[in-house]
């Protein structure tokens, strides 16, 4: 069995879903009133809102590089799965998320179940301004019941606005962070274990540098894994299997997202994380 290991790794950009306390302990304060273009914008729409996607993605493309969370196989189309995937990729890329469903309510509920995500449902440009200036939101949730041109204006206002880092605002977002830290058990840990990649020709052990129940950072040659689905296991006997895909490549490894797998795998990972 071959073993790919690594000691040093660059920061796993905001990590895979709700992971690093130090990164998510409080929303990062900003001082400018205008927001520069975002490097990565993660977009997702469920089946009730897909009809607005072309116009909304055109607007978002003016503001940054758009990653469509729905462009996977199988394609997530319900609001739970699409919102969760948007949040995963938003954290991975340290970006901004934009999610739309029929009402905007469902995706916002799901989004705020992720550590490090501060999602706001907005139906007016004023909402978009307030959630950035006051709350330092990093995920915008839209409703397909809102006119598409209104949603374009909401997007424009959201990305044109920054958090107002005055003492009163800082106090509130720090209080939010304390509530988050109290209610969310940290699920990312610097765990080094071997995950076994079930290749067609042979098995290969790859060391994790960070691990959570939704994914891991694997310390390896970033070109080691192909695009598309890969099969991983915690056991050389083929127990505790999970399917995964690479969501980011860095010089010292890759971030992988666990897509689906045996419940025993996730239970085993949870038990490992309980020790950290």
The pLDDT score that the predictor gives to residue 93 is 84
Summarize the confidence of residues 227-231 as an average pLDDT: 88
**Cα-trace Rg, the chain:** 19
CATH code of the domain in which 211 resides: 2.40.10.220
Is 101 catalytic? The answer is yes
Q: Are residues 235 and 152 in the same domain?
A: no
pLDDT, residue 186, reads 54
Q: How far apart are CA 256 and CA 247, in angstroms?
A: 6
> Are 198 and 233 contained in the same domain?
yes
Same domain, 247 and 179: no
Are the C-beta atoms of 142 and 154 separated by less than 8 Å? yes
* pLDDT higher than threshold 80 for residue 94: yes
pLDDT, averaged across the chain:
81
Does a structural domain hold residue 44? yes
pLDDT at 3 over 60: no
**What is the per-residue pLDDT for 24?**
33
Q: Are residues 267 and 171 in the same domain?
A: no
CB 102 within 8 A of CB 77: no
- Give the pLDDT of residue 188: 60
Place of tokens 């971030």: 255
pLDDT tens sequence across 107-153? 999 999 888 899 999 999 999 999 999 999 999 999 999 999 999 99
**Domain encompassing residue 76:** 21-183
Q: Place 241 in a pLDDT band, splitting at 50, 70 and 90.
A: confident
Whether 14 maps to a domain, the answer reads: no
Three-state secondary-structure class, residue 195: strand
77 lies in the same domain as 153: yes
- 142-184 residue pLDDT tens: 999 999 999 999 999 999 999 988 888 889 888 888 887 767 6
Q: Are residues 94 and 133 in the same domain?
A: yes
The answer on 266 and 152 residing in a single domain is no
Residue 236's pLDDT is what? 57
Question: If phi over 0 gives left and psi between -120 and 50 gives alpha, with beta otherwise, what is residue 104?
Answer: left
3-class DSSP assignment, residue 177: helix
Token pair in block for residue 30: 């900003």
Q: Is residue 23 over pLDDT 60?
A: no
Q: Are the C-beta atoms of 117 and 138 separated by less than 8 Å?
A: yes
**Residues linked to residue 64 through DSSP beta bridges, in sequence order:** 38
Any idea what the CATH number is for the domain that residue 178 is in? 3.40.1400.10
Q: Are 60 and 148 in a shared domain? A: yes
* 63 and 196 inside one domain: no
Alpha-carbon separation of residue 250 from 14, 92, 107, 185, 192 (angstroms): 13, 11, 30, 27, 18
Q: Tell me, yes or no, whether 205 and 79 share the same domain.
A: no
Query: Mean pLDDT, to the nearest integer, of 181-210?
Result: 79
Question: Which pLDDT does position 76 carry in this prediction?
Answer: 81
Instruction: With respect to residue 3, please indicate whether it lies within any of the assigned structural domains.
Output: no
**DSSP secondary structure, 84-145, as one string:** HHHHHHHHHHT-EEEEEESSSHHHHHHHTTSTT--EEE-SSHHHHHHHHHTT--SEEEEETT
> Are the beta carbons of 91 and 18 closer than 8 angstroms?
yes
Let me know if residue 9 belongs to a domain. no
Q: Which is the catalytic residue, given 87, 101, 122, 220?
A: 101
**If you average pLDDT over residues 215-220, what whole number do you get?**
90
The answer to whether the Cα torsion of 148, 106, 140, 51 is positive or negative is negative
**The residue to which tokens 């895909």 are assigned:** 245
Question: Could you tell me if 201 and 31 are in contact, meaning their C-beta atoms sit under 8 angstroms apart?
Answer: no
226-238 average pLDDT score: 80
- Domain check: are 67 and 164 in the same one? yes
Mean pLDDT to the nearest integer, 179-190: 68
Last residue of a domain, one of 136, 155, 183: 183
For residues 222 and 239, state if they share a domain: yes
| DSSP per residue, 32-101 | -SSPPPEEEEEEEE-TTTGGGHHHHHHHHHTTEEEEETT-SSSPP-SHHHHHHHHHHHHHHHT-EEEEEE
Number of domains the chain is built from: 2
pLDDT at 68 over 60: yes
End-to-end, the C-alpha distance of the chain in Å comes to: 28
Percent of the chain whose predicted confidence (pLDDT) is above 70: 80
Mean pLDDT of 66-94: 87
pLDDT at 111: 95
In a domain, 130, yes or no: yes
Confirm whether 8 is domain-assigned. no
At residue 185, the pLDDT reads 57
Q: What pLDDT, on a 0 to 100 scale, did the predictor assign at position 34?
A: 44
- Inter-CA distances, 37 with 2, 78, 134, 159, Å: 43, 29, 20, 7
């Amino acid at each position: 069995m071959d073993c790919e290991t690594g000691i040093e790794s660059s920061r796993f950009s905001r990590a895979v879903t709700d992971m690093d306390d130090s990164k998510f302990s409080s929303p990062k304060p900003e001082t400018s009133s205008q927001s520069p273009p975002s490097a990565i914008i993660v977009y997702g729409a469920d089946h009730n809102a897909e009809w607005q996607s072309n116009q909304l993605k055109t607007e978002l493309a003016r503001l940054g590089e758009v990653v469509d969370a729905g462009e996977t196989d199988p394609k997530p189309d319900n609001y739970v799965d699409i919102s969760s995937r948007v949040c995963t990729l938003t954290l991975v890329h340290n970006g901004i998320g934009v999610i739309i469903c029929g009402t905007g309510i469902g995706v916002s509920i799901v989004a705020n179940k992720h550590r490090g995500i501060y999602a706001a449902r907005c139906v007016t440009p004023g909402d978009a301004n307030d959630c950035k200036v006051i709350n330092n939101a990093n995920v915008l949730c839209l409703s397909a019941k809102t006119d598409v041109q209104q949603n374009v204006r909401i997007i424009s206002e959201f990305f044109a606005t920054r958090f107002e880092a005055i003492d009163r605002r800082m106090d509130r977002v720090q209080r939010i962070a304390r509530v988050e830290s109290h209610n969310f058990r940290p699920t990312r840990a610097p765990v080094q274990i071997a995950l076994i990649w079930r290749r067609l020709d042979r098995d290969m052990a790859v060391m994790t540098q960070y691990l959570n129940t939704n994914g891991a950072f694997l310390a390896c040659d970033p070109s080691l894994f192909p695009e598309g689905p890969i099969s991983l296991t915690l056991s050389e006997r083929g127990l505790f299997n999970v399917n995964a895909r690479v969501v980011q490549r860095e010089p010292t490894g890759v971030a992988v997202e666990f897509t689906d797998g045996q419940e025993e795998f996730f239970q085993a990972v949870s038990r490992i994380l309980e020790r950290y």
